[in-house]
A and B are shown apart, each in its own frame.
Chain A
Amino acid sequence: MSRYQVYLIDDDEAVREALAFLLGTYGITVETFGDPQTFLAHVDEGKPGVLVVDLRMPEVSGLQLYQKLSERGIDWPTVMITGHGDVAACRRAFKAGIQDFLTKPVDGEVLVEALQQGFASLDGRLEKHEARALLARLTEREREVLDMVAQGWASKEVAQALDVSVRTIDAHRAKIAEKLGTSSVAEFVRLALLSGA
């Protein structure tokens, strides 16, 4: 059902199996890992998903795993689950940017709801990534021009501001439209906003 899968990392096997079983009834695919190291060795950037991580695990904690993933540029939505409703740990987790913080025993519906938010967030993140990837193809000058156009500047105004001819600006805009696959100003604005967010 879901476009994404869930990566579940918990050192307790019973918890892993039970949550996977439950999420299975919702049609959510779950891949389980007994410890963060295995996951880190296994993770594929090309297969994004929502992470469900036990906060307290031997060797590497859930938060440390999150940070390690971030270092590798993987910022998938993460739901932290913990046996302790520890306020300090909760604050640290949110500060680090995790999506949600649930205490065990985890209610199935609450978890699924959190996951769905994660999926949505993942959708948004994908667009942003796409926008960034598109914009990354632009030269510095083209990016400058795009930002100005997105702010509603006419070609003439841009040419004046950059002290070049209008024709040159038009040539840039043609290049930009080619690279982004659209000549719509509205689309330019959206992409610029996404990449900037």
Chain B
Amino acid sequence: MLGPVFSANREDEEQQMLFPELPVGGFRARCVTNNLTKSLLFGIALWLAALLAFALYSVEASKARLAGELEVTGRTLHRLISQRAAQHDAHMTSLIALTSGAEPAPLGAVRQVMESITRFYPRIAWIALVSLDGGEGGAGPATGVAGAGAVTGADAGADRAGAADVGSAAEAGAAGAAAEASGAATGAAAAPGGVRMLVEVPEGGGEDLAPLRGAIGEQLRGKIGVHASRNGRYLLAKRAPAPSDAALVFGIDAALLLEPEERPAWAHLRLTLDGQELLDLPGASGAGVSFVTAPHFEKVIDGEGQKILLSLDRALPLDELLPLRSVLGFAVLAGLASFALMFALRQRAAAQQSQQVARAAEARALLQERETLLAHASRVNAMGELASGIAHELTQPLTAVLSRSQAALRLAGAQKLDLGLITQALDVNVREAKRAGEMLKRMRDYASNKAPEPKPSALNGIVSEIVALTAADLERRGIKLELDLSAEAPEAVVDAIEMEQVLHNLIRNAADALEGAGILDARISIATKIVGAEVQVVVADNGPGIAADVLPKLFVPFFTTKADGMGLGLSLCQTLVERVDGRIEAGNAAGGGARFVITLPRVKA
């Protein structure tokens, strides 16, 4: 039955062609959906960043805190050890004083003091009073200092000689060696290498002082010398004031410099003497991480000849740098904060979305308003074309009214008043005046600027109205109008005036095509029918039909085949029909001629 049918799907772009400044709603909505996804990703990223920042901060803070602890502990230990070193000094000084105060030295009392010192101070493992050189004349055997070796004897000789020349000192040393030989003969305890033990506590717990004889001998009197020893022990030596050749030696157990409870379990503590290890307590802290420089503390102990170095090292295990509980706590808090932020962002996005929806609705309303304006302008324009036909339509009742009125006047002026005839004349006048009024109302409605108001309307009535407006014009142009209105009275929800306009456009196009082609027996047919759940209005003509290349562009705005056309007629028809959920299709009838079908959802009367 039908030729190729083309139905244009109007896209946003086409609306844009009509009203380019209007925004397109769909695009924005897609952006908002992206925003929602973005806010989720953003929340997660923020959370991870916060965790990383917290970890870095936590590591730095922990490191600083642990280093601070180490520093404090280091200073404390340094102070303790330094105090104890000062005690050593004090003990030595008092013992020296005791030995040199009387002649001969009260060795018994010295021993007692020594014993009490070692008892009270376990770190002072050994105390010895020695004589460095027994060869000195003034001292005599009673002082008990004798038996120095050849070399130490030479040293002592040099001491005694003061500013004497080296040669005489060597001689004096030789003499000392002789004296030692004699001392050995007397059976007194003689340390090897020229150091004679006077008193020692505990007995035999000491050191071989012979290798140190020279070093001790070189010490300034009254100054403490520090000397290395074995087994975590070091020696303190102090010489008695001149002219005594006695020296006091303390053996200090480095490990006991600190009480067990004073040692930090978490640090690696070391005491060294001239690089030689005295004490090495590794501590109980686990393996440290490699990526952070571990804190280190070192300080030379005051006193003790400023030779003992205290050093503390602290390993930084991961669980101390990043305490699990605080990390977890922060993770939870940051997670909550991120979630809250994300939620807020989502809320904002949703608000934006609804705002955009509102804006799109506003744009749609604006578009609709403009379409309504365009529709109205187009109707007013068409009204001009119809004016001559409508004038003709108005002339008819006016002619009847004038004639009847003149007849009535004549009857009224007659000698024999025929009221029956006059009444008849006036009755018809009223009817005809009303008819003219209806025509004027139809015109006014059609040209009116009122907002479209779709409501259930009878399509047959709409067809009849537009036929009444256009019939005279078609008649003048010699075009016959054929109506085939469904007896079932189809109804649809439309604005009657706008639907009249759609039909008028189709009728006008058909009439122009018929006229342009010079068709004899030109006919336009309008039919209404019900097709299932839809109703249709079909406008067909017996003109030349629509060319195949024109068909696809028929509903495109500003496309026209008329020399003086705007190309908005059919595009506007489509807009108006789609506005009430209908569609309009164009094609060619099998018998030739164009055929337009408007399909609308049916409303059951």
Contact = CB atoms under 8 A, between A and B. Distances in A.
Interface in B316-339: none
A83 interface: yes
A105 B428 contact: no
Contact of A104 (B398, B425, B431): B398
Interface string B390-419: 011001111111111011001100100000
A14 B35 CA distance: 72
Contacts of B410: 22, 25-26, 108
Contacts, number: 80
Interface in B415-451: 424-425, 428, 431-432, 435
Contacts of A104: 395-396, 398-399
A108 B404 CA distance: 9
B475 A58 contact: yes
B83 interface: no
Contacts of B397: 14
A154 interface: no
B476 to A, nearest CB: 6
Contact of A105 (B398, B476, B480): B398
A18 B395 CA distance: 13
A83 B396 contact: yes
Given A25-B407, A25-B411, A83-B395, A18 B400 contact: yes
A107 interface: yes
B425 A21 contact: yes
Which residue among A25, A81, A84 has the maximum number of chain B CB atoms within 10 Å of its CB? A25
B392 A14 contact: no
B392 A83 contact: yes
A108 B403 contact: yes
A183 to B, nearest CB: 49
Interface residues of B, number: 27
B388 interface: yes
Contacts of A24: 407
Interface string A91-114: 000000000000011111100000
Contacts of B391: 83-84
Contacts of A14: 396-397, 399-400, 428, 431-432, 435
A18 B403 contact: yes
A104 B404 CA distance: 13
A105 B399 contact: yes
Interface in A45-86: 56, 58, 81, 83-84
A9 interface: no
Contact of A12 (B396, B401, B414): B396
Nearest to B476: A56
A15 B435 CA distance: 12
Interface string B370-403: 0000000000000000001001100111111111
Contacts of B395: 83, 104-105
A179 to B, nearest CB: 48
Contacts of B400: 12, 14-15, 17-18
A56 B411 CA distance: 31
Given A14-B428, A18-B428, A25-B410, A105 B392 contact: no
A145 interface: no
Contacts of B402: 18, 105-108
A21 B392 contact: no
A84 B398 CA distance: 13
Contacts of A12: 396, 399-400
A108 B401 CA distance: 11
Contacts of B411: 25
Contacts of A17: 400, 428
Contacts of A109: 406
A15 B475 contact: no
A169 interface: no
Nearest to B471: A58
Contacts of B414: 25
B329 to A, nearest CB: 96
A146 interface: no
A192 interface: no
A74 B478 CA distance: 26
A186 B129 CA distance: 204
A17 B388 CA distance: 24
B404 A21 contact: yes
B499 to A, nearest CB: 26
Given A14-B432, A56-B475, A84-B388, A106 B396 contact: no
Given A17-B400, A104-B396, A104-B399, A58 B480 contact: yes
A127 B426 CA distance: 42
A19 interface: yes
Interface string B204-227: 000000000000000000000000
Nearest to A14: B400
Nearest to B404: A18
Given A83-B391, A104-B399, 10 more contacts: A12-B396, A18-B407, A18-B428, A22-B406, A22-B410, A25-B407, A81-B399, A105-B395, A107-B402, A108-B406
5 contacts: A18-B401, A25-B414, A81-B399, A106-B402, A108-B410
The 8 closest A-B pairs by CB, nearest first: A83-B395, A18-B400, A18-B403, A108-B406, A83-B392, A105-B402, A14-B400, A22-B407
